[in-house]
Amino acid sequence: MLQPLRLDSMTNKTARTQYELFYWPGIQGRGEFIRLAFEQAGVPYRDVARKPGGLKKLGNLMKSGASEIPPFAPPFIRMGTLILAQTSAILAHLAPRLKLIGRTESDRLRAMQLQLTIADCIAEVHDTHHPVSVEQVYEKQKPAAKKRSEVFVSIRMPKYLGYFESILTAKRRMKPWLVGSRCSYVDLSLFQLIAGLKYAFPNAMRRLEPKMPSCCQLFERVSKLPRIAVYLASERRLPFNEKGIFRHYPELDR
Amino acid sequence: MLQPLRLDSMTNKTARTQYELFYWPGIQGRGEFIRLAFEQAGVPYRDVARKPGGLKKLGNLMKSGASEIPPFAPPFIRMGTLILAQTSAILAHLAPRLKLIGRTESDRLRAMQLQLTIADCIAEVHDTHHPVSVEQVYEKQKPAAKKRSEVFVSIRMPKYLGYFESILTAKRRMKPWLVGSRCSYVDLSLFQLIAGLKYAFPNAMRRLEPKMPSCCQLFERVSKLPRIAVYLASERRLPFNEKGIFRHYPELDR
């Protein structure tokens, strides 16, 4: 089932690369974009911080001096001697190895541009419940969160999803995927963004969905990919909750 | 003076690549990170939207259908037939061509990780004056901006700059640059981040600087690079102002 992986000089200490993901246990968060890539590729990976003692390992690797450039924050991956943080950098690095992006430079650049745009949207989603301080709980910033969510739901969310819709429906486009002729990591990430928005803002999304049929089709298509479908039904897929990026607070979903 | 550029198949229609930058005129903003790269490389580039009729060209290229994957927002570049948006993707793509990153995959990945961390900080800087809505002016969200700025200045800014300080001062590090043995695009970007923070939060930065001597040295070192020094003294370097990302509002700088 598994495709042979092209290993580079930094990681081919063993014939089979051991992928380790380090991310906060208990939430999907930004780690989920990387989990979806591993799952769709069908490669084994260790979700380290969800194993006993794993959170301590995560903390140790984040310490200054543990690697030449330690992570500022999770998620990060370890592949042999390489430790790499930042979701979009991780995905750009993994995707060619996991066959989740085409071979051309053009496809890889387009994918990176779109992934960074998804990342921008995710940061805005996070700020709907944390507009004033990432250090304080939501309950301490509710009035500002309400205002920010109103703007997000009525202006920013339609703008971002409308952008992806416009790409999927562009003239002369014959393929149902965002980049290239096969499902890429960007499709998995757009699936996850839409899944999160459906969870956090069900009312707003219900109103918006008729205006984004191609995005909805992409969402359905990804959710039915055999490996993704198995993953979503497994215990490896954590449920959404009010600790992660996508949180459902009814008062923020008009 | 100029290094020969390695041109790839997407751009070598002519012997000399024509670099075009598209960004909002009148502000440094995210475009400045790309300007600094071009300036340090000493390659000619067209800052299109600052020329007569350029803003219209920018708008046309952002329209759906103008390219396969149009930009969600400026900055973006055009090189031959390639149109590429997202600051960090643009820099990752340009840097090897501009000799602003080493040849190893390890250096390129580390640079991308750090650039994305700088990008995260920049987004938080923007939110100090726009915590509730990117669609409304600062004056309509002053109370939330004051709270967000307090948290940024007292917690987030020291955390980000402390992270870069820890990398520069790590044991066994012999080089004065963030990645590799020469000045890379990430050093230029950290310079710009610090320059912006000094403009926006002079009081807070004056208190913080004794705790970040290596970052301050890097800032000075970059500002004295011959090409950067010439650029900073030129009319091409726009002044900071209260339309960009880094804005000086005395009430936000305790």
Q: Write the single-letter amino acid at A200.
A: A
Q: Is A19 helix (H, G, I), strand (E, B) or coil?
A: strand
Residues B220, B113 within the same domain: yes
CB contact under 8 A, B93 and A85: no
Residues B183, B135 within the same domain: yes
Q: Which of A188, A236, A171 is nearest to A33 (CA)?
A: A188
A170 touching chain B per CB within 8 A: yes
Burial degree of B14 (CB within 10 A; 0-12, 13-18, 19+): exposed
CB contact under 8 A, A167 and B135: no
Residues A216, A160 within the same domain: yes
B167 touching chain A per CB within 8 A: yes
pLDDT in tens, chain B (254 residues): 344 444 444 444 444 669 999 999 999 999 999 999 999 999 999 999 999 999 999 999 999 778 889 999 999 999 999 999 999 999 999 999 999 999 999 999 999 999 999 999 999 999 999 999 988 999 999 999 999 999 999 999 999 999 999 999 986 667 899 999 999 999 999 999 999 999 999 999 999 999 999 999 999 999 999 999 999 999 999 999 999 999 999 999 97
Q: Which of B53, B80, B97 is the last residue of a domain?
A: B97
User: What are the chain B neighbours of A117 within 8 Å (beta carbons)?
Assistant: 72, 85-86
Residue A114 lies in a domain: yes
Q: What is the pLDDT of residue A171?
A: 66
Find the closest chain B residue to A170 by CA distance.
Answer: B65
Residue A231 lies in a domain: no
Tokens of B81: 């037939």
User: What are the chain A neighbours of B71 within 8 Å (beta carbons)?
Assistant: 113
Tokens of A139: 């309950």
Residues B127, B183 within the same domain: yes
A166 touching chain B per CB within 8 A: yes
A103 touching chain B per CB within 8 A: no
Residues B167, B127 within the same domain: yes
Examine the pLDDT at A8 and tell me if it is beyond 60. Answer: no
Find the closest chain A residue to B167 by CA distance.
Answer: A69
Q: Is A249 helix (H, G, I), strand (E, B) or coil?
A: coil
Domain that holds residue B80: 19-97
Q: What is the pLDDT of residue B2?
A: 42
Q: What gap in Å lies between CA A212 and CA B57, rounded to an integer?
A: 28
CATH label of the domain that carries residue A26: 3.40.30.10
Q: Which of A36, A74, A21 is nearest to A191 (CA)?
A: A36
Quote the minimal CA–CA distance from A60 to chain B in Å: 15
Q: What gap in Å lies between CA A201 and CA A212, rounded to an integer?
A: 15
Which residues 189-248 of B have a C-beta within 8 angstroms of A? none
Residues A51, A122 within the same domain: no
Length reported for chain B: 254
- Total number of domains in chain A: 2
Find the closest chain B residue to A149 by CA distance.
Answer: B132
Residue B66 lies in a domain: yes
Residues A111, A157 within the same domain: yes
B154 touching chain A per CB within 8 A: no
What is the DSSP pairing of strand B19-22 with strand B45-47? parallel
Residue B115 lies in a domain: yes
How far does chain A reach from its first CA to its final CA, in angstroms?
A: 46
A114 touching chain B per CB within 8 A: yes
Beta bridge partners of B182: none
Q: What is the mean pLDDT of chain A?
A: 92
Cβ atoms B183, B233 nearer than 8 A = no
Q: Which of A97, A126, A153 is the last residue of a domain?
A: A97
CATH label of the domain that carries residue A169: 1.20.1050.10
- Which residue among A88, A92, A133 sits closest to B147, beta carbon to beta carbon? A133
| Position with higher pLDDT, B68 vs A235 | A235
User: What are the chain B neighbours of A145 within 8 Å (beta carbons)?
Assistant: none
Per-position DSSP letters for B52-95, written without gaps between them: TTHHHHHHHHHSTTSSSS--SSS-EEEETTEEEESHHHHHHHHH
Question: Taking CB atoms and an 8 Å cut-off, how many pairs form between chains A and B?
Answer: 125
Q: Which of A97, A122, A150 is the last residue of a domain?
A: A97
Residues A71, A120 within the same domain: no
Residue B233 lies in a domain: no
Residue A186 lies in a domain: yes
Q: Is A74 helix (H, G, I), strand (E, B) or coil?
A: coil
Tokens of B99: 């000799």
What is the DSSP pairing of strand A19-22 with strand A45-47? parallel
DSSP-derived secondary structure letter, A233: T
Residues A131, A213 within the same domain: yes
Q: Which of B172, B41, B188 is nearest to B114 (CA)?
A: B188
Residue B74 lies in a domain: yes
Helix (H) or strand (E) holding B214: helix B213-223
Q: What gap in Å lies between CA A172 and CA A51, rounded to an integer?
A: 48
A71 touching chain B per CB within 8 A: yes
Examine the pLDDT at A2 and tell me if it is beyond 70. Answer: no
B105 touching chain A per CB within 8 A: yes
Residues A45, A77 within the same domain: yes
Q: What is the pLDDT of residue B172?
A: 65
Residues B87, B114 within the same domain: no
Tokens of A71: 């992570």
Residues B90, B186 within the same domain: no
Q: What gap in Å lies between CA A107 and CA A89, rounded to an integer?
A: 15
Left (φ > 0), alpha (ψ -120 to 50) or beta: where does B135 sit? alpha
Q: What is the pLDDT of residue A5?
A: 43
Q: State whether the Cα torsion A31-A32-A38-A42 is positive or negative.
A: positive
Find the closest chain A residue to B131 by CA distance.
Answer: A131
Quote the minimal CA–CA distance from B232 to chain A in Å: 29
Find the closest chain A residue to B73 by CA distance.
Answer: A117
Per-position DSSP letters for B99-130, written without gaps between them: T-S-SSHHHHHHHHHHHHHHHHHHHHHHHHH-
Q: Which of B64, B63, B65, B69 is nearest to B83 (CA)?
A: B69
Examine the pLDDT at A45 and tell me if it is beyond 90. Answer: yes
Q: What gap in Å lies between CA A92 and CA B93, rounded to an integer?
A: 12
Residue A10 lies in a domain: no
* Residue burial A133-150, b: 16+ Cβ < 10 Å; e: rest: beeeeeeebbebbbbbbb
Find the closest chain A residue to B9 by CA distance.
Answer: A105
